[in-house]
Structure 1
Amino acid sequence: MTDDVRLRAAEPGDYDRIAPVVDDWWGRPIQGGLPRLFLDHFHRTSLVAEDGDALAGFLVGFLSPSVPDAAYIHFVGVHPGRRGGGLARRLYRGFFDLAAADGRTRVRAITSPLNHGSIAFHRAMGFAVQGPVPDYDGPSTDRVVFELRLDAG
């Protein structure tokens, strides 16, 4: 259950709590995909989930500065012991509320075609799924692209 977990806006200093755990939470080296700049510059649009003082999860997202109706979820993590209890859904819904309050009508995200768990999660959340899109992130770097219309639900 996630009732004992509180969500709050991230702060730049949260990077120092998040960066050391992401490789363990994913079970592979992934920290390079989350440089400090995301929490330095997008902390107001990112969320941290805490159980007391313990980090339970996080979502790093931002409102697109170039696409006025879009928001983007870049990185989401839930402590392995907290998975399956709805915390990722709470983080996403919190971000949806934040994006909608700013007039955004679309939320986008991407993942690797091999990340079947992420693809299933995004489908269950109501995202449209496109791809894999060949060379999306450069040569031989295919991605699955997700988009959710906030005004559709």
Structure 2
Amino acid sequence: MKIRSVTGEDYYTVSPLINDWWGGRNMADMLPKLFFEHFTETSFIAEENGIMVGFLIGFLSQSHPDEAYIHFVGIHPDYRKNGIGSHLYETFFTAVQAHNCRTVRCVTSPVNTGSIAYHTKMGFSIESVRPNYDGPGQDRVLFVKRL
């Protein structure tokens, strides 16, 4: 498996796949092209034999210089449970530590029990569950991991 930084052109590969990878849920709107243009140093693509099998989009916080945020992660459904997510997360952790980042944050929906279990397994702690975090009825689980 090869992990590399995203490019602006990767948007055109990733965007059409997102909704399919999420079982038909409309998720593509959460990942506009700007993430592929402005966060290339901390966002990654995983490829297996030339096929994109996963991606992680993350960035360093401008407001909290010792923190980073993982915005969106996707693994091709046929390649899940092969350690691709772990490799992407570890690559991200290494990249942000090079910028003296010591804390990583991310959020998920309380109904996404798979994501909650995965983040806990990756060493994240649940910081809180916030009602209406992303707007009315948009509750979120907030995670934190100390590096």
Say whether the fold is shared (TM-score over 0.5): yes
Match of 1:94 in 2: 91
1:18 aligns with 2:21: no
Match of 1:7 in 2: 3
Give the counterpart of 2:30 among 33, 50, 54: 33
Contact 2:60–2:67 under 8 Å retained in 1: yes
Structure 2 Cα separation of the partners of residues 77 and 93 of structure 1: 15
Match of 1:117 in 2: 114
Q: CA deviation at 1:132?
A: 2.0
Structure 2 Cα separation of the partners of residues 69 and 44 of structure 1: 16
- TM score, norm. by length of structure 2: 0.96
Q: Unaligned regions of 5+ residues in structure 1, if any?
A: none
Structure 2 Cα separation of the partners of residues 30 and 131 of structure 1: 23
> CA offsets per residue over residues 36-69 of structure 1, 9 Å max, x none?
1111111221000011321110000001111111
Structure 1 Cα separation of the partners of residues 67 and 128 of structure 2: 19
RMSD: 0.9
Give the counterpart of 2:123 among 117, 121, 126: 126
Higher mean C-alpha deviation, range 120-129 or range 136-145: 136-145
When the two structures are aligned, how many residues end up with a matched partner? 146
Which aligned segments of 4 or more residues in structure 1 are displaced greater than 3 angstroms? none
- TM score, norm. by length of structure 1: 0.92
**Identity %, equivalent residues:** 48
Match of 2:78 in 1: 81
1:106 aligns with 2:99: no
Match of 1:60 in 2: 57
Contact 1:45–1:63 under 8 Å retained in 2: yes
Structure 2 Cα separation of the partners of residues 81 and 138 of structure 1: 33
Q: Unaligned regions of 5+ residues in structure 2, if any?
A: none
Contact 2:41–2:95 under 8 Å retained in 1: no
